[in-house]
Amino acid sequence: MSVFIGKDTTLVVQGITGRDGSFHARQMMEYGTRVVAGVTPGKGGQQFDGVVPIFNTVRQAVEQTGANTSVIYVPPAFAADAIMEAAAAGVKVVVCITEGVPVLDMMRVYPFVKEHGARLIGPNCPGLISPGEAKVGIIPGRICARGPVGVVSRSGTLTYEVVYQLTRAGIGQTTCVGIGGDPINGTNFIDCLEAFERDPDTHAVALMGEIGGTDEQEAAEYVRTRMKKPVVGFIAGQTAPPGRRMGHAGAIISGSAGTAAEKIEAFEKCGIGIARRPIDFVALIRERLK
């Protein structure tokens, strides 16, 4: 099985005629994802690559194609409206790749999406992939393989690195989820951990966090109290100079609460295996799959 997306995913691409939207729409189609519609206001009635119908609105796309998932490639100024348009149209999973969405916009978006019963992944994320079933976003399909490990990460490039190392070692994945590194995002670590715990095909979880905030500490407590499946974790930013601003918008350290040392300590206390380097996931996951 998989979480959030799978063989039953039918996808509408918002911004399909833009540079990024068109490039990644083709990548997703080549991977086997069922891209059933695109949306670009003013270009309704056209077709993308001669096979995907383009609509002016998400509602039109959903009504005529039955799309249940959306991926968003639009500029930051329009991303909030695009997310809310998808949720209002009845889309169940909304994936926003766009980086630089204003926090004030996300304060409006987050409750709106919840009220409409949709799941938002992102913004500022690489999306997700269920190997062999569907790819929604920008995670390279060639580095993934089907297998028993669920992957969740705040960092896009770190997701690629860990997935590549696992696949290279013959350890496949059920679903890889990039939740994004913004201060306000739609899906957090606990949401993904809960989904992986319920998934019968996921036997272990690889979790990649980073400095800033307390999401990793909250996830660690969830693992301690609610999960039976083993989890291995990594914290990016362990060598970050004190006081240096770096990383994602959400990587804000307040006192000692967001430091790498504090997060690693929380992992250790809650029984999460500690990967000091991305390559360490291979041995730690392999040991827990025995």
Residues 204 and 148 sit within 8 Å (Cβ to Cβ)? yes
Q: Which of 24, 116, 203, 248 is catalytic?
A: 248
- 3-state SS, residue 31: helix
Pairing of β 134-137 and β 127-130:
antiparallel
Rounded Cα gap, residues 274 and 263, in angstroms: 10
Rounded Cα gap, residues 82 and 76, in angstroms: 10
- The length of the chain, given as a count of residues: 290
Residues 136 and 33 sit within 8 Å (Cβ to Cβ)? yes
Phi, psi of 282 (to 5 degrees): -60, -55
Sheet architecture: strand order including 69-72: 47-48, 52-55, 34-39, 10-14, 69-72, 93-96, 119-121
Is 248 annotated in the active site? yes
One-letter identity of residue 211: I
Catalytic residues: 248
